[in-house]
Structure formats: structure tokens, C-alpha cells
Amino acid sequence: MTPVVAVIAPGMMGAGVGKRLADNGVKVLTSLKGRSEETAARAKAAGMAAASDEEIAGCDFILSILPPGDAVALAERFQPTLKASNAKPVYVDCNAINPRTVDKVAAVIAPTDCPFVDSGIIGSPPTPQAAGEDKIKGSPRFYASGPAAPRFAALRDYGLDVRLLGGALSTASALKMSYAGITKGTQAIGAAMMLAASRAGTADDLFKELSSSQKEMFAWFKRGLSLMPPKAYRWIAEMHEIAGFVGDDPAAKELYEGAAHFYERIAEDFDGDKNDVAALGSFLGKTPPGA
């Protein structure tokens, strides 16, 4: 039978995942408690139906897709309802959290008797599918670990690219932390130096040099950093999670705590006068030499 899946919450990634599942015939529920009209409209456009906590606890799967700082709180919110439910859905934590936080979420879910899966999402929200395409084409990778991960892999039949990992329960999140530490950590360093060059009056020279000697890396920066400012607020907690992941290395921990503070400043600037956002946009929008 086609499963019923709850996706919480309908942010950009959650709504994209919900739409991909709905387009493949899955009934997708979500929670709109305390959510904005914009979020409610996004969920509706994705084919996601608003549901109570009790209805969600009756699903086959619950996918937690939230800012990482909210992962434990969501599990705590649903614990009593899941305890009372006879359905015992598979609870899949898809958030950018470190293995220690995974253990906390798993400990909250354990008394409910619901199977728990750790999953790390790598990639952008799912893209629309053309008729006849491979079902999982255009889906981000859902790396999954833990004894119940093969049950989550059943959603490959409904458009999600689920990839199973061996090892410990939190292996998927360890992979996510490692990958995001490289990609988003590098973006923080690149943006910080572009802004520093702008303040120092050497932006044009830095742009020319990057365009000449670091073409591939600079093209990657331009793609990523042009989209970063509105997402910076979500990356703050993620950098703190990565700092916890590398906590046995004090220097690395300081590096990612610094990245968290940088993204916090960008997020504040984006919600405020946008001086740094404008300076970064100006840098990225310069005309390449010889163009």
C-alpha cells in the first residue's frame, strides 16, 4: 500500500520533499501550528495537507526537516502523541545535527517504540520531474543509517534518493557534518575575504585574480554565495552543530564557532540595512576581465 508520510516542516526543503512525494502518489501531511500564511501557502502549493499531531502520529513515516536547533524540541513535542499511537511511524530525523544531538533525539523517541532513522540530506530541494524520468532523479541524497534505515529506503519508490549507510546509528549525520563543514565552512571563509577586500579597496583586484587563477573555485563561490544571505539564519545552528562534531579538535571547533558568528552577522544584516549583503552582491556581480 502507498504510505502516508508527514513532513515537518514545510520550509523550502520540506515543501520540496513533500511535493516530490505527493507527485508520486503519496498522501503528505504536515503541521502548520504557529506557522505563517506564507508557509501555509507553500505547503498547499506542494500538495501537503495540514494535520493535527494525532493524525501525524498515525502516519507511516515522519520526516523531521527543520532548522537544526529545533530537532530535539520537535521530538519532545511528539513524544506523548507517539506513545499513545498504535501506528508507530518510522521517525526519520533529516536535520543537520551532529552525532551527539542525534543520540538526544533518538533517546526522546525511544520510549515511544517508534523505529528511529538518522538521515542527512545533501543537495538542493527536489526539482520537478518530467514524465518517464527515473523516479529519484532531481532528488537530494538522503543518506540514512540505523537498524530501521531499510524501512525508510522504501520511499525510493516514491521519488526520494535514499542511500543506506552501515556503521553506527548516527553515521548519516557524521557524513552530513563533514560535508557541510567543507561546503558551508568554505563559503563563510570566501564571503569573509570578499567583504574584507571590499572594505580595503582591493575588491577589483581580488575579483580579477580569482577569475584568472581560481576559475572553477570562483564559479562555485558565485553560485553558492549568491543564494547564501537569505539562508544564513539557518546555517548558524548548523555551524554550531559542526563545532560540536569536531569538538575533540579545539582549533577546528573555534573555526566553526567563528563561522556561526559570521553567518549570524550576515543574517542580521540581511534583515537590516543589507550593507554587507549589498557589498557581497556587488563583488559577485562584477564583470570578468575581457568580457
Return the C-alpha cell found at 43: 505547503
Domain boundaries, the chain: 4-169, 173-284
Which among 235, 221, 180, 217 has a CA at the least distance from the CA of 69? 235
Instruction: Give the predicted TM-score (pTM) of the model.
Output: 0.94
Share of the chain above pLDDT 70, in %: 99
pLDDT digits (tens, 9 = 90+) for 237-257: 999 999 999 999 999 999 999
Residue 112 has pLDDT above 70, yes or no: yes
CA separation, residue 175 to residues 94, 130, 208, 220, 282 (Å) = 12, 30, 35, 21, 34
The CATH homologous superfamily for domain 4-169 is NAD(P)-binding Rossmann-like Domain (3.40.50.720)
Residue 80 has pLDDT above 70, yes or no: yes
The mean per-residue pLDDT over the stretch 101-114 comes to 98
User: In the prediction, which pLDDT does 182 show?
Assistant: 98
User: In the prediction, which pLDDT does 291 show?
Assistant: 58
The amino acid at residue 12 is: M
The mean per-residue pLDDT over the stretch 255-260 comes to 98
Return the C-alpha cell found at 57: 502520529
pLDDT digits (tens, 9 = 90+) for 53-74: 999 999 999 999 999 999 999 9
Reported as a pLDDT band with limits 50, 70 and 90, residue 82 is very high
User: In the prediction, which pLDDT does 33 show?
Assistant: 87
